[in-house]
Structure 1
Amino acid sequence: MYERTARESMCKFCKYVIKIYGNQYLRKPNLNDIQQLYEVHESKHGFPEMLGSLYCMHWEWFNCPTAWRGQYLRGDHRHPTVALEVVASQDLWIWHVYFGVACSNNNLNVLEQSPLFNDIESGVAPDYSFEIDGVKYKYGYYLVDGIYH
């Protein structure tokens, strides 16, 4: 198969996957989804107001173009890597995936550039406030004298 035919076939495949499954599976969680995730996680694990697990890893990019190789290499990996950030709920439903920037950045830098945290910064994310041992948190920041740190 020619490269162009393979590329065009992949584009058509992706287009139809989005068309068929987009509304159900390729979306952010809505308020109803969030409430159901809270309830299931609290009943199963006893930890209230938790959506799922955030995980970051370095995915090896074996076919990285030679010109980009240097910016995606890390000292602890033999091959170039791309940071992958995933949020999954207890039923293994993947709610968020982000392939980050060059892996010379650490996970905190990847999180700062993530669309997940951009929604929090821009104020379009639902309110994720919670309390642990009397300390109030909002989006992972803790409240002291009315100011989140």
Structure 2
Amino acid sequence: MGALFSVPFSLFYHNPTFRPFVSEQGDGVTLPAWQTRKAETEVSRRHLQAFRRRQSRRDGVGAGCHLHVAVCVDGEASSSRVPRSRIYIARDREDAAIRLYNDYFAESPVFPDKYFNRRFRMSRELFLRIVEGISIFNSAVIPDYFIYFLERPDATGRQSLTILQKCTSAIRQMEYGTTPDLFDEYIKIGEKTVALCLENFCQCVFHLFARQYLRKPTAEDIARLYNFHAQKHGLPGMLGSIDCSNNDINVLNFSPLFNTIKDGTASPSPFEVNGRRYKRGYYLGDGIYP
């Protein structure tokens, strides 16, 4: 078995011992196929290890070029490669932050409210309320998921992503159900960072609003919902709606929404339609399937 190493060509270029074994092919530099079986005898393992330690020292002609050396043992060449380092992408996140602000959050934004409501699936006022709640949160012990949204310089002195960028990426992941890197081109956030945004955003929202909005409705809440939907939509007894096109029935099966009805502990919430009395209200389902 053998191993395949990738080393900077410049380290070979100035060493006359190895220059006869170098041939140029296109943009890269590789060993000729007929010489690969001589690699182990001509290029010792000691030199290869030294070259790998000095990969960062690329100089002169051939900087950026690589020499792929196949080391053969017992006459068999290996196809495995040494993993390359992660590719750096120069994202202009500062320019993206300005564009995002001007598009949706400026005093006279590029896109009016109807576009914001459609693309964020909520009003601008609600979104900014969530952002403000995260940004001004204060406590004797601040959880890490709130600290994540602080705007501060990174290790290189460059300003971090804004809280608007992070919250926008989290909201759009949830509303569209897409891959994390879909909005990289617009918001300029990498895939791993976007995943962290979503995770920390959900924990912040739960911390801030669970007690008020994720509790069980009281009798007063139910009466208010009945009255609202009856006046707004002409649907008496309606508690809410469920969009099953994005959150399908498989997800709904894991929801605790109907647990109290199943176990018989739901609060009584009767209503009447056309002279007929019903025990409990209902939810409308959109896009559901059997």
TM-score interval (norm. to shorter): 0.3 to 0.5
Report which of the two has the higher share of strand: 1
TM-score relative to the length of structure 1: 0.43
Larger Rg: 2
